[in-house]
Structure 1
Amino acid sequence: MRNLTPKVFTGTLASALVLAAASASAQDRSDWPSNFTVGTASQGGTYFVYGSGWANLIADELDISGGGEVTGGPTQNLALVHGGDVAFGLTTMGPAADAVKGESPLAPGVPMDNVCALFPMYETPFSITALASSGIESISDIPDGARIGFGPAASTSDTYFPAMLEELGVNFERRNGGWGDLGGQLQDGLLDVIAFAAGIPIPAVSQLEVQTDVNIIEFTEEEQAQILEAFPVSEFSIPASTYETLEEDARAVSMWNFAIAGCDLPEDFVYEVTKVTMENNDKMRNVHRSAEHSIPENLKHNKVLPFHPGAVRWYEENGYEIDESLKK
């Protein structure tokens, strides 16, 4: 009988510890939202697929109701997160920089200080294409008054690429349209250049180079440095394997996409969301292949938004440093 007492005590203690842990877990969730929404963009685009899939992953892993919502994209998502209309959203560093400074077109003069960064998603490269027959082989070759297609109106490309080219002294006529349509216009001689901000390989360019000779125009080192100084973009290199036309990697810039959260969301909740996302990259890649870049090593590409305290806790616990200026 004397041997039973320690066993019974140990079992009772173990049960008590399990119950205590369960109780603590329940307490940890007491201030969690009952559900959440991720602001994405229009249906069918990368943002919608990525954001909806990520929302489903979080909902499944944390046993909480959540999903993606169709929105107007990066700029509107910042406003929705800031106002608490959605818990999470997807955006790019350009609109984020404008929002922080109170220069968002949706809320002029209102600094959006309730928007925090969560994690890096992927980068959107900026690239330039012209027909080889045009003789345009560099940005400095683009003639005054050139007709340049910048993609859909109000897109990331249309918002930032014109300003970048103006920064580099290019004078042009601005044209808008879908990438496929603009590719056709370039081939028909109705455009001189197309300035893309889109994932590579760009189908319109791949199709063009099958049908005619094209030039993929890279930035010089000086041009790249000038744009890096003036805009919230990062260095990028278009791999030579991307297009048949390229014989070597082409220098460019890119704008990073980041997931964002309301800064007032509970720290423990955001910690768990970050943990699930950063520790399940295989599942994230199943959501969208671009998520191969959704890894902590790419935190450095956010120099604009403060990171949510919950996200900071996970990163620092796992050996990733966050600059003090980017802590909320």
Structure 2
Amino acid sequence: MLRRNLLGATILGAAAPALFAPAIAQPRNASWPRALNMGTAAPGGTYALYGPAWGQIAQEATGVQISYRTTQGPNQNIILVNRKEIELGMATMGVALQAWNGVGAWTQGNKFRDIRALFPMYDTPFHGIALKRTGITKHADLNGKSVGVGPRGGTPGTYYPQLLQELGVTPSAVRYGSASDLVGQIQDGLLDAFLFASGVPVPAFSEIEVQAEVNFLDFTQDEITKLTAKYPELAAGSLPMGTYRTQQKPLGIVGMYNFAIVHKSIPDDLAYEITKSVLSQNARLKAAIAAASETLAANWTKNTFLPFHPGAARYLRESGQQVPDNLVQA
């Protein structure tokens, strides 16, 4: 029943890995699995780039082949990791909190307790983009407008409709899809705005600002105060000048942190080596994707509830981090 009813069930049978690592990997420990699967997300978002970047580092360090499965994003990654249909994934902590406690419509009351945290990734700021010709400059302008919010199973697809409702904004339509598809709809005049949450710069936003004049949609201080009071998993922040080529001012945002996740059954020493390989090679990861500048051991504190895998906690502690025992679980 769970397999049929939970988010993404109609996709799971047909979804094929978007990218495969070479089939020549040889595990450096004979007790490790020969291969692992990682859930990423739809094209146009940061997960689609970040996942293969850290996966390649982990594969080289462990000799375990890692392949990649295109998913709807954090919600579906959690479902698949919990079922062990994939072993590795990525999720925002707001969605992970819903999963752990079995709240949020997408969980259908199920608690996903077989997932573990590996390492911190980066912050996910909520913000939007619209073509300048629409006259849309802020979220309050979206009443009666059509908006895209990313895949239904992603963080923005889960949260952005709720954020708009909290702000008293009622779009004429809310559409779901990959970032690359929604950007195309913006350019074709089929959507008035695209609202998203991802590592910055959002690849799809960077793409469209090169091709057209755009306005970036951020939040006022009053809106930020209201949203963070309603959703404590959100934190206030700002995107500095230079995040996007054509932005005119720092952008006020709310955001939540991303973590790599793993099924609890992965061997401790394998989880240790994966975590060590990624966190000890930050310069290399940053060269592959800018969002990795925040992939630092010290940012483990962005996770206050999801148990770390014992192998991951071992490396974090070796690197000087004070991870408490109550945040580690086999």
Same fold (TM over 0.5): yes
CA-CA distance at 1:137 after TM superposition: 4.4
User: Residue by residue, what CA displacement relative to the aligned partner does 1:183-232 show, whole Å, maximum 9, x if unpaired?
Assistant: 225xx5x65443232442554576458644x4433212232233234343
Cα gap change, 1:135/1:263 in structure 2, threshold over 3 Å: closer, same or farther?
same
In the other structure, the counterpart of 1:320 is 321
Does the alignment pair 1:148 with 2:147?
yes
| Contact persistence 2:219–2:252 (CA under 8 A) | yes
For residues 210 and 84 of structure 2, the distance between their equivalents in structure 1, rounded to whole angstroms, comes to 46
Does the alignment pair 1:69 with 2:72?
no
In the other structure, the counterpart of 1:18 is none
In the other structure, the counterpart of 1:80 is 80
In the other structure, the counterpart of 1:183 is 186
CA-CA distance at 1:312 after TM superposition: 1.7
Secondary structure of 1:251 counterpart: strand
Does the alignment pair 1:263 with 2:264?
yes
Letter in 2 for 1:179: L
Runs of 4 or more consecutive aligned structure 1 residues displaced over 6 Å after TM superposition: none
In the other structure, the counterpart of 2:128 is 128
Report the aligned-residue RMSD: 3.2
Cα gap change, 1:220/1:325 in structure 2, threshold over 3 Å: closer, same or farther?
farther
Letter in 1 for 2:119: F
| Contact persistence 2:34–2:64 (CA under 8 A) | yes
Does the alignment pair 1:58 with 2:61?
no
Does the alignment pair 1:94 with 2:94?
yes
User: Residue by residue, what CA displacement relative to the aligned partner does 1:39-68 show, whole Å, maximum 9, x if unpaired?
Assistant: 223575643443334333223223x32212
Secondary structure of 1:126 counterpart: strand
Identity of aligned residues (%): 31
Letter in 1 for 2:260: A
| Contact persistence 1:118–1:260 (CA under 8 A) | yes
| Contact persistence 1:115–1:261 (CA under 8 A) | yes
Letter in 2 for 1:184: Q
| Contact persistence 1:201–1:242 (CA under 8 A) | no
* Larger CA Rg, structure 1 vs 2: 1
| Contact persistence 1:147–1:192 (CA under 8 A) | yes
Cα gap change, 1:76/1:132 in structure 2, threshold over 3 Å: closer, same or farther?
closer
CA-CA distance at 1:238 after TM superposition: 1.8
In the other structure, the counterpart of 1:275 is 276
User: Residue by residue, what CA displacement relative to the aligned partner does 1:104-142 show, whole Å, maximum 9, x if unpaired?
Assistant: 767533211111111112233211334556665443x43
Secondary structure of 2:238 counterpart: strand
In the other structure, the counterpart of 1:217 is 217
Letter in 1 for 2:33: S
Cα gap change, 1:239/1:210 in structure 2, threshold over 3 Å: closer, same or farther?
farther
Q: What runs of 5+ residues in structure 1 fail to find an aligned partner?
A: 1-27
In the other structure, the counterpart of 1:5 is none
Figure out how many residues of one structure are paired with residues of the other and give that number. Answer: 294
User: Residue by residue, what CA displacement relative to the aligned partner does 1:8-52 show, whole Å, maximum 9, x if unpaired?
Assistant: xxxxxxxxxxxxxxxxxxxx967x433341322357564344333
Letter in 2 for 1:227: L
For residues 116 and 325 of structure 1, the distance between their equivalents in structure 2, rounded to whole angstroms, comes to 13
User: Residue by residue, what CA displacement relative to the aligned partner does 1:156-183 show, whole Å, maximum 9, x if unpaired?
Assistant: 3222111111112212222325232232
CA-CA distance at 1:300 after TM superposition: 2.6
For residues 160 and 317 of structure 1, the distance between their equivalents in structure 2, rounded to whole angstroms, comes to 36
| Contact persistence 1:183–1:208 (CA under 8 A) | no
